[in-house]
Amino acid sequence: MLQPELDKIVYFQSEEPRVYESAHPKSLLHSIVEDGKALDSLKNQHVYSSDQFDRNTILQLLRLAAKYEANPERFSAPLQGKILISAFYEPSTRTRLSFESAWHRLGGNIMSITDRSTTGIAKGESLSDVAEMFNSYGDCVVLRDSNDSSVKEMMDALRIPIINAGNGLDEHPTQALADLYTIFKWRPDLIQTKPENPIKLCIIGMPSRMRTVRSLLKLISVFPNAFETVTIVANEVEEKIFDQGQKEQLLNVGLNIEVTGGFSNAIKSADVIYINAIAWEGNTFKEYGADYKLSASSPLKAQAIVLHPLARGEELCTSLDDTSHNWYFSQARGAVFLRQALLTCLLHRTDRVLDII
């Protein structure tokens, strides 16, 4: 017999409406006209950097992601018979499972490597030889490594596509695509060439030290008119905040970049707040901006949304979880569909999911 106290805890609501659940992709889906040809450019291309994506390719990727998210059960197995090599030499359960979930939903099979110490690499095998092995065993590689150069070394020898899922301090392009996907789901009007109401984006994080921030800045450079201002909040001199030439590049595309140490003022006026405190460097991490903490009592605009690449530290209080500012859970959820879209393109299977190609 079920005890009353158990009754309370074992039952759950599978459809429980949570704030971030309202982040429905339908509006974005309707805002972009399908153009499968734009995705052809992703064939025979590794995914190394956010720099690789032009405006049209990005929009079509986001559209396909929205299509998957709007009807998650519709496309059962476009990658049937395909094998993913999921190589996480720098362990990351969160990112690994996001990619693997995406691949499984597309009907493919997976071989995982979750521990570098037991691989041939640890015994001195070259990444080039490992890549050659991957050519024979799989159809696509997802690689995370704490070493910046690993993905490039592999790319050189691969004849199957590889996705950079975070290479040291450098880049994490699919995270940035997921970030952008979230912003455009929230405000599909921003994809217009000249949006009427561009937004204020506030980034709490270090462009020079965080791969997620670096990759995101590259992507928003493709949509400069969507952003009235981009404010970087950091208590550092600009030489440390930016890589050499990084700020100039952002200014050159027309972004209005501001830098401030004034946390409260920055978040007060922001429409989108992107926060991250932890930069993974190899097997350890450094914390930046530990003084900057967001919570439900932070002075946010009523309509502002908060993004975070997760996992979170103390910079993002759980008191925000049940507020309408919480779009970080939607961001994590959407990343799976974004990755489904990208993988479908890399594996040349858009013909199975697009109407017009």
Task: Give the one residue of 33, 136, 193, 237 binding a second copy; rule: CB under 8 A.
Answer: 136
Residue 69 lies near a second copy (rule: CB under 8 A) = no
Q: Among residue numbers 318 through 337, which ones bind a second copy (CB under 8 A)?
A: 318, 329, 332-333, 336
Tokens for 244, please give them. 């050499």
Nearest to 214 by CA among 254, 272, 164: 164
Residue 120 lies near a second copy (rule: CB under 8 A) = yes
Residue 290 lies near a second copy (rule: CB under 8 A) = no
Nearest-approach distance from CB 297 to a second copy, in angstroms? 20
Nearest-approach distance from CB 80 to a second copy, in angstroms? 8
Cβ nearer to a second copy, comparing 130 with 273:
130
CA-CA distance, 30 to 321, in Å (whole number)?
28
The label of the residue with tokens 């998210």 reads: 69
The label of the residue with tokens 């914390």 reads: 287
Residue 12 lies near a second copy (rule: CB under 8 A) = yes
CA distances from 140 to 134, 161, 228, 348 (A): 8, 5, 38, 11
State the binding string over 22-51 for a second copy (x if CB under 8 A, else -): ----------------------xxxxxx-x
Nearest-approach distance from CB 37 to a second copy, in angstroms? 17
The stretch near a second copy (CB under 8 A) out of 184-192, 197-205, 238-246, 310-318 is 310-318
Residue 85 lies near a second copy (rule: CB under 8 A) = yes
Task: Give the one residue of 27, 34, 70, 133 binding a second copy; rule: CB under 8 A.
Answer: 133
Nearest to 306 by CA among 316, 297, 314: 316
CA-CA distance, 39 to 36, in Å (whole number)?
5
CA-CA distance, 195 to 198, in Å (whole number)?
6
CA-CA distance, 284 to 104, in Å (whole number)?
30
Residue 125 lies near a second copy (rule: CB under 8 A) = yes
On whether the CB atoms of residues 198 and 226 are closer than 8 A, the answer is yes
Residue 296 lies near a second copy (rule: CB under 8 A) = no
| C-alpha Rg value of the chain to the nearest Å | 20
Q: Among residue numbers 148 through 177, which ones bind a second copy (CB under 8 A)?
A: 152, 155-156, 158-161
CA distances from 103 to 99, 220, 274, 300, 313 (A): 6, 27, 27, 37, 28
Task: Give the one residue of 24, 26, 94, 286 binding a second copy; rule: CB under 8 A.
Answer: 94
Task: Give the one residue of 36, 195, 224, 313 binding a second copy; rule: CB under 8 A.
Answer: 313
The stretch near a second copy (CB under 8 A) out of 29-37, 123-131, 175-183, 200-208 is 123-131
CA-CA distance, 312 to 319, in Å (whole number)?
13
Residue 126 lies near a second copy (rule: CB under 8 A) = yes
Task: Give the one residue of 34, 35, 40, 132 binding a second copy; rule: CB under 8 A.
Answer: 132
Residue 254 lies near a second copy (rule: CB under 8 A) = no
CB contact burial 166-190 (16+ within 10 A = b; e otherwise):
bbbbbbbbbbbbbbbbbbbbbbbeb
Residue 13 lies near a second copy (rule: CB under 8 A) = yes
